[in-house]
């Protein structure tokens, strides 16, 4: 515990470096002193909270989480009754009146969580997740609801992290669209993925508060936010380490942390957006798609990319955090690799960034040839590991859980990993053949049918559809989310532009999506953009169309196999398991689970030769 305490205490201590801009720090510190004097004299009141506002905050608490440093859980508050809610309302109103948060509500418990990369013996490969007092979480929820709309109005359009209506995959889509655009013009595109060292843990508090003031957040609300970070403290793993003061950083696990970090990094995105350098598709600027602290910069020349990286590096010196040149990478995207192609040379400060052939951004594997092959292989590896981890719970063939439960687990935990990010690539049927083979093999194992069984049987019995259909559903869902955005969002502007210019014929992602909508007889994408439907309605429409197409196709394929003549193909209903595999309440589960393999082998024709040979009717 002492080692963890020393590690996280070092992160929480104000950092210094010869590369930091100390003159800028002096200006920031002076401004904060002036701002404090202004608000101390004015003492602008904060609107009191109400029983309804506190109740909404309590209802949005995540349940089933670890207790705080006082042993209180969210359930204690949720089921505490009206008297407790009224007491909490009085406490919060007292905080708002005095514009000061008690130190007892700023004491956190840090739990080290492994990042799933690097050595487990290195403390740097662990993320410190802080559990704040539950009462402090409720206060944060109230403050977040009051601040969020204001922060979102000032948020740079390229920030896609922790934003209502946005997805991290929007970043990947913007990058994909720029690569396709430049490749279609037979040009080279360059992407730099910048890695900030412990980004959330080194946020300079005074600079953050100064940015909040410049965004227009002032008076009592600013005083409360300022108080929230004064004399904040943490311990590691309960009370097993000494308490230490948090001098910098927004706590990972805090309700407000993500929104405050977006404020902290927003000025950098504004500088990049308005600098005039980097990626453009038509007149649409898309030079720095970002998801929270995952910053990427795009350009079509070494000079422009270097300018963007220099702006980001200068900003990091001002704001007292470090960009890591060895972990930040440059990924060139070329139409055709040739021996005469010059390797791009990009610097962060005085150190050159490595040029790579592949990297991962927001969970999507990127390669220099922009092929989905590497991403598919990576997804396959992750899906296998997930599948193996579930086998101990009974996710296997005979002597395991019943097939209906197994298929539900497989659909819930394995398939999302198997297909993650592939809606950005929209790979061809030939590209996803390894995924289709994996899906069919696993389904046959779960259903306890031989591997030589005709492939349509595995889909008919399980109620699942091929990987191609799943990827198309994910792509249609992504487009449905884009259609619901306001017209000024980058993704929607790109959709209008690309569909207007390229239609169904270009290499654009939106052109490929238009082909998919035609395949499933769905409305034209341009019509969807102009008159979007709700998320639930779009999901219903796309599921019905995709399931109808593949249901008809798989039934037709099944009729061509004589071995499946005893399988009731007409009962195939995508999304629902075949009646043959259902175990009713009146049946003994263990007995029926043992009988299912034989029933399946008869229905799929595997036992027919033996039955005919023996003369059994």
Span 313-358, pLDDT tens digits: 999 999 999 999 989 999 998 765 544 467 899 999 899 999 999 9
Asked if 192 contacts 346 with a C-beta cutoff of 8 angstroms, the reply is yes
Given a cut of 60, is residue 606 above it in pLDDT?
Answer: no
Nearest to 248 by CA among 17, 479, 69, 433: 17
The distance in angstroms from the start CA to the end CA of the chain is: 71
Helices (H), 122-256: 134-154, 168-184, 205-214, 219-228
Give, for 189, the enclosing helix (H) or strand (E). strand 189-194
Which pLDDT tens digit goes with each residue over 12-55? Answer: 998 888 889 999 999 999 999 999 988 887 778 899 999 999 99
pLDDT class for 501, splitting at 50, 70, 90? very high
Given a cut of 50, is residue 568 above it in pLDDT?
Answer: yes
DSSP β-bridge partners for residue 295: 194, 290
How confident is the model at residue 613, as a pLDDT?
45
Measured in degrees and rounded to the nearest 5, phi and psi for residue 233 equal: -140, 165
Q: CB 100: neighbour CB atoms within 10 A?
A: 15
Nearest to 445 by CA among 600, 578, 318: 600
Given a cut of 70, is residue 617 above it in pLDDT?
Answer: no
Give, for 332, the enclosing helix (H) or strand (E). strand 329-333
Nearest to 391 by CA among 352, 456, 462, 442: 442
b/e sequence 255-284, b meaning 16+ C-beta within 10 Å: bbbbbbbbbbbbbbbbbbbeeebbbbbeeb
Pairing verdict, β 233-236 and 358-361 = unpaired
Asked if 34 contacts 270 with a C-beta cutoff of 8 angstroms, the reply is no
Q: What is the DSSP string of 371-421?
A: -SHHHHHHHHHHHHHHHHHHHTTT-SSTTSS-HHHHHHHIIIIIHHHHHTT
Asked if 484 contacts 568 with a C-beta cutoff of 8 angstroms, the reply is no
**Low-confidence winner among 464-473, 497-506, 536-545, 575-584 (lowest mean pLDDT):** 575-584
How confident is the model at residue 590, as a pLDDT?
54
Given a cut of 80, is residue 609 above it in pLDDT?
Answer: no
Measured in degrees and rounded to the nearest 5, phi and psi for residue 104 equal: -65, -25
Domain ranges within the chain, ordered by starting residue: 2-158+201-261, 170-197+264-367, 373-470+545-612
Q: What is the DSSP string of 287-307?
A: S--EETTEEEEEESSHHHHHH
282-297 average pLDDT score: 95
Distance in angstroms (rounded) separating the CA atoms of residues 134 and 208: 24
Give the rounded percent of residues in the chain with a pLDDT score beyond 90: 69
Give, for 436, the enclosing helix (H) or strand (E). helix 433-446
Which pLDDT tens digit goes with each residue over 183-205? Answer: 988 888 999 999 998 889 999 99
Given a cut of 60, is residue 95 above it in pLDDT?
Answer: yes
438-456 average pLDDT score: 90
Angle at 190 between CA 186 and CA 196, to 5 degrees: 165
Distance in angstroms (rounded) separating the CA atoms of residues 445 and 201: 46
* Upper half-sphere CA count for residue 194 (Cβ side, 13 Å): 30
How confident is the model at residue 585, as a pLDDT?
56
Distance in angstroms (rounded) separating the CA atoms of residues 527 and 530: 5
131-140 average pLDDT score: 95
């Amino acid at each position: 515990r002492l080692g963890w305490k020393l590690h996280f205490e070092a992160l929480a201590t104000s950092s210094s470096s010869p590369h930091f801009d100390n003159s800028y720090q002096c200006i920031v510190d002076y401004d904060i002193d002036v701002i404090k004097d202004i608000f101390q004299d004015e003492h602008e009141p904060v609107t009191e909270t109400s029983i309804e506002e506190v109740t909404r905050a309590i209802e949005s608490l995540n349940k089933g989480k670890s207790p705080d440093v006082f042993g209180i859980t969210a359930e204690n508050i949720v089921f505490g009754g009206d008297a407790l809610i009224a007491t909490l309302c009085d406490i919060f109103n007292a905080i708002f009146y005095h514009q000061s948060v008690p130190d007892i509500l700023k004491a956190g418990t840090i739990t080290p969580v492994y990042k799933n990369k690097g050595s487990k013996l290195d403390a740097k490969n662990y993320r410190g997740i802080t559990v704040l007092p539950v009462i402090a979480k409720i206060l944060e929820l109230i403050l977040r609801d009051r601040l969020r709309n204001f922060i979102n109005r000032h948020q740079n359009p390229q920030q896609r992290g922790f934003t209502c209506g946005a997805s991290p995959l929007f970043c990947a889509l913007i990058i994909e669209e720029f690569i396709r655009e430049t490749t279609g013009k037979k040009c080279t595109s360059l992407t730099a993925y910048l890695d900030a060292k412990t980004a959330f843990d080194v946020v300079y508090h005074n600079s953050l508060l100064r940015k909040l003031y410049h965004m227009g957040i002032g008076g009592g609300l600013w005083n409360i936010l300022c108080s929230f970070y004064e004399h904040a403290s943490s311990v590691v793993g309960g009370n097993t380490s000494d308490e230490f003061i948090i001098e910098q950083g927004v706590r990972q696990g805090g309700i407000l942390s993500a929104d405050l970090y977006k404020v902290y990094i927003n000025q950098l995105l504004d500088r990049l957006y308005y600098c005039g350098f980097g990626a453009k598709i038509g007149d649409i600027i898309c030079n720095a798609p970002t998801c929270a602290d995952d910053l990427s910069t795009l350009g079509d020349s070494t000079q422009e990319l270097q300018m963007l990286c220099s702006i980001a590096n200068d900003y990091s010196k001002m704001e007292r955090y470090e960009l890591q040149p060895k972990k930040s990478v440059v990924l060139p995207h070329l139409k055709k690799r040739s021996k005469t192609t010059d390797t791009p040379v990009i610097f962060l400060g005085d150190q050159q960034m490595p040029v790579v052939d592949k990297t991962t951004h927001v969970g999507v594997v990127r390669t220099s040839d922009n092929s989905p092959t590497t991403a598919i292989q990576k997804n396959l590896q992750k899906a296998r590991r997930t599948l193996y981890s579930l086998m101990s719970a009974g996710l296997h063939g005979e002597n395991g859980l019943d097939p209906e439960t197994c298929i539900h687990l497989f659909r819930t935990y394995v398939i999302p990993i198997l297909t993650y990010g592939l809606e950005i690539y929209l790979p061809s049927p030939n590209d996803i053949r390894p995924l289709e083979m994996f899906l069919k093999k696993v389904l046959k194992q779960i259903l306890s049918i031989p591997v030589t069984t005709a492939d349509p049987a595995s889909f008919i019995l399980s109620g699942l559809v091929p990987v191609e259909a799943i990827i198309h559903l994910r792509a249609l869902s992504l487009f449905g989310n884009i259609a619901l955005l306001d017209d000024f969002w980058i993704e929607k502007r790109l959709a209008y532009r690309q569909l207007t210019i390229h239609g169904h014929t270009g290499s654009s992602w939106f052109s490929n999506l238009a082909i998919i909508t035609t395949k499933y007889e769905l409305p034209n994408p341009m019509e969807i953009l102009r008159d979007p439907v709700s998320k639930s309605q779009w999901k219903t429409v796309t599921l019905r169309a995709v399931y109808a197409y593949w249901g008809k196709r798989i039934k037709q394929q099944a009729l061509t196999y004589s071995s499946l003549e005893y399988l009731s193909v007409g009962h195939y209903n995508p999304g629902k398991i075949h009646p043959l595999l259902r175990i009713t309440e009146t049946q003994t589960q263990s007995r029926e689970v043992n009988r299912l393999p034989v029933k399946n082998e008869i229905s799929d024709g595997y036992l027919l030769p033996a039955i005919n040979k023996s003369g059994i009717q």
